[in-house]
Structure 1
Amino acid sequence: MALDRRNLLRGGAGIGAAAAFGMGTPAAADSSAVSSSAVSGFVQRTKRSASAYGGTPVEYLRRMRRLLIDNDNMLGPGQAIKAVREHIEAIKGLRREAAGSDRHELLELQTQYAEFASWLYQDLGDLNSARFWLDRAADWSHSVGDGDLTSYVMARKAQLAGETRDLVEVVDLAEAAQHLARPRSRLAAVARTYESYGHALRGDSTESERAIDDVHNALDRVAEDSSPWGVWLNAQYVEVHRAQGLEALGKHDQAADIFMSAIRALPEDYHRDRGVYLARAAVAHAGAGAPEQAAAVGLQALTVAEDTGSGRIFTELSRLDKALIPWQKQPDVTEFRVAFDGALAHEA
């Protein structure tokens, strides 16, 4: 039976569920579904690759994670998720043979890969699998004993709760991440950013603005933090989250202006994130009663969505598609909605 993908998206299913990307369910994501022979194959291939490129398996897998992150930013999650899953299984296999510090380094790397897998599934729109891998990362981070890593994973759980607009969990998870973080650290500021959005979802504009202002005021202080986590926290990142909160509060005009200003200041290599922010800006324009701007910005976001296969962008554009219905006979709006339908048909 053919799926009505637009209706699925409008109903909040997300592009991951609507598109049936074939990446599996949380149950299928468990390592128990991977045969021992497959794991052995992943391990042997990793060893051969490490030898060929000069280095240990841990060094090779760290390098590959960095390359996959860069690849994801430009080409989207669909290109990276298979390799990430295979690398996780390879790490598990290598841990069976390792001891001492090598075993600890592998577990730390496994945790980092699990968090990355969660992010990829989140961007696909498969939020159940995103939760699955973030829960695994949280469990493994406690075994690693790295306080910064555990704090970061908890902050990511707050972010994911915000993605699902969970009014109960966002603030509590963000506060828990701040308790785990080193005082006045970058990770504490990252978690405070997500807390701000949680307050906005609850309709508390005062607490939301207070939290986001706290983060802005902390940027100079945390810039020298030596932690490798949250290095992307900058003024533009904070501003797009301010705009996201304003949009949730119904302040569409302000949200649209701040989104567009922050987007203009983004570094050129923020390709996929630019698409997400453009889509959210378009929704804000529609909410502010500016359908022409909404449709024009939405078309820009759609181009990035098609390039990357980002479920987050498609989900935001489905909100835009619905918001533009009152102006559906206007030429600019018609152009966007026809292009959006064509993109959904192509994804199918």
Structure 2
Amino acid sequence: MSSLSETFGARLRALRVAEGVSLSEFARRLYYSKGHVSRIETGAQSPSSEFVRKCDAELGAGGELIALAGEKARVVRTALSESAEEEVWVMTMTPDGGAAFSPVARRDVLLGGMAVIAGLKVSGTGVVAANAEAQLRYHRHLFDSARDLGQISSPDVVLPLVVGQAQALRTLAKQVDASTVPAVASLAARTAEYAGWMAQESGDDSAAAWWTDRAVQVARVAGDDFLAGYALVRQALIAMYQDDGATTVSLAQRAQAEQNLPARVLGLAAQREAQGYALLGDRDACLRALDRARTLLLDPDGAPEGPVIGTSRVVDPVAVASGWCLYDLGRPAEAVEVLDRELARIPGSAVRARTRFGVRLCLAYAASGELEQACRLARLLFGQIAQLDSATVRTDLRRLATLVRRWSTHPEVRALEPELTIALGRSA
């Protein structure tokens, strides 16, 4: 029995009694057993983050119980780390189809290490490309195709493609005349940024941070300084999936303090800030941030030129984020209402987006006691989960497994358990 559990439990009981709610009634509202709530109130059991957030919302504690639960802040590697200059990351592939993304010391690269790893002959000369514009059009088409592929494929399939394209664009930039370099660099920066997202989807947060850092550096050559702000939004996403609300908010606010950012990037930063506040249980701050995000993302002139920054598949990203936040605020029934409506609006071709928000909807169904709906939807998503092999989707899938196993004797849960075990095992 930890003193932390005792402190949380005592405060939870005091708030419940002050509200005049019996233990049985409180447990019924939370969809937990009376014994489970009692063990947490006495300090005999530590609460899950989901339990803490539902209690905080039910008792109107305004984040007090979340703060008292003492979730440890996680250290998130920032995208603009100075140490990143000391290494180069290389994608290697094996004859059996395996791939790895690993750091190589800059000194080894200069000595020819990269050439050895890649098995390529290094040429010290380049030929000026007379058809640079045509090549750039093809590269843009390839990039758009890679993003489309990323909606239906594992990041292990997509990442080698975008890493290779980033290197190809780097080579092209050395071959074209000075007037064309900014356009090439701009596309190279977007490619590196997307590589960062695919790296995060593969479960490699360090590689995600490294690629985002590369995107910022290349973008500066192109004059796209806004990517430095978006890098903070990307880092906030990493923190969010680590359940670190304070860091999520801090990074999102730093992004919004950047100068001359397009409205779309500011809107995405405000949306991420809202998700951070939801993790902290601050409903009012969350709603204010969502309102700012909605205004900014609706700005018709707010998007920078070039490929879309952030999601291009979700009809109303702020509405979906609102549903996401409601779950983290401990309001799963409200989350169900929003996510169910918005999921139907995401096109079928956006498999990654539909799966991510679909699993979150499963969580909301289960947490609000609608087990049949949660299990039914989960079964529909298992094939897509296996197809995508997404680390961020796995995060919520593990939460779903923990949640539904509280009702292990329920017929729907028993029927779901073998498929859920397989899905989690396949994703391990």
Q: Give the TM-score normalised by the residue count of structure 1.
A: 0.80
1:254 matched to which residue of 2? 334
Establish whether residue 281 from structure 1 lines up as the match of residue 358 from structure 2: no
Contact 1:182-1:188 at 8 Å conserved across structures: no
Q: How many residues align?
A: 321
Write out per-residue CA displacement over residues 217-266 of structure 1, whole angstroms, 9 at most, x where no aligned residue.
Answer: 4444x134352444738663112211221222211211122111110122
**1:27 partner amino acid:** P
In the alignment, which of 211, 219, 223 is matched to residue 300 of structure 2?
Answer: 223
CA contact (8 A) 2:159 2:198 kept: yes
What's the offset of the Cα at 1:312?
Answer: 2.0
- Structure 2 match to 1:24: 100
- Shifted more, 254-263 versus 88-97: the winner is 88-97
CA drift of 1:102 comes to 3.0
Q: 1:223 & 1:41 partners in 2: Cα distance?
A: 48
For 2:423, give the aligned amino acid: A
Cα deviation, residue 297, structure 1: 1.9
| Shift, 1:72, TM fit | 0.8
AA of the residue aligned to 2:271:
T
* Equivalent residue, structure 1, for 2:146: 68
| Contact 1:302 1:317 survives alignment (8 Å) | no
Which of 227, 238, 242 is matched with 1:164 structurally?
A: 242
| Aligned 8 A contact 1:263 1:277 in 2 | yes
Whether 1:241 and 2:318 are equivalent positions in the alignment is no
Residues in 2 aligned to 1:252 and 1:302: alpha-carbon distance in whole angstroms = 22
- Matches of 1:247 and 1:282, distance apart in 2: 11
SS where residue 24 of structure 1 aligns? strand
CA contact (8 A) 1:189 1:215 kept: yes
What is the rounded CA distance, in whole Å, between the counterparts of 1:29 and 1:259 in structure 2? Answer: 45
- Alignment match, 1:124: 202
Whose relative contact order is higher, 1 or 2, with alpha carbons under 8 Å and at least 6 apart?
1
Q: What is the CA deviation profile of residues 117-167 of structure 1, one whole-angstrom value per residue up to 9, with x for unaligned ones?
A: 111112222222212211222233334321333333332222232222223
Residue 334 in structure 1 maps to residue 410 in structure 2:
no
For the Cα contact (< 8 Å) 2:346–2:353, is it kept in 1?
no
Change in CA separation of 1:29 and 1:309 when aligned onto 2, cut-off 3 Å? farther
Alignment correspondent of 2:167: 89
Relative distance call for 1:291 and 1:108 in structure 2 (3 A) is same
Alignment of 1:35-50 (within 5 A): 35=115, 38=118
Greater helix content: 1
Contact 1:39 1:89 in 2 (8 A): no
Query: How far off is 1:55 after superposition?
Result: 6.2
Contact 1:302-1:313 within 8 A present in 2 as well: no
* Aligned mates of 2:243, 2:355 — CA distance in 1: 20
Match of 1:193 among 268, 271, 279: 271
Please report how far the alpha carbon of residue 321 of structure 1 lies from its aligned counterpart in structure 2 after TM superposition. Answer: 0.7
1:290 to 370, 375, 389: 370
Greater gyration radius: 2
DSSP-derived class of the 2:179 partner: helix
Q: Which ranges of structure 1 fall in alignment gaps of 5 or more residues?
A: 1-11, 13-20
Structure 1's 150 and 184: CA in aligned 2 closer, same or farther, altered over 3 A?
closer
Give the direction of change, closer, same or farther, for the CA distance of 1:217–1:225 in structure 2 (3 Å limit).
Answer: closer
User: What is the aligned counterpart of 1:140 among 211, 218, 224?
Assistant: 218
Aligned letter for 1:341? T
Match status 1:307 vs 2:387: yes
2:283 counterpart (199, 202, 205): 205
Match of 2:137 in 1: 59
- When residues 264 and 41 of structure 1 are mapped into structure 2, their CA distance, relative to the original with a 3 A threshold, is farther
How far apart, CA to CA, are the structure 2 residues paired with 1:96 and 1:310?
35
SS in 2 for 1:180: coil
Unaligned runs of 5+ in 2: 1-73, 75-96
Per-residue CA shift, 1:35-70, capped at 9, x if unaligned? 278486799xxx9xx98xx96433322221111101
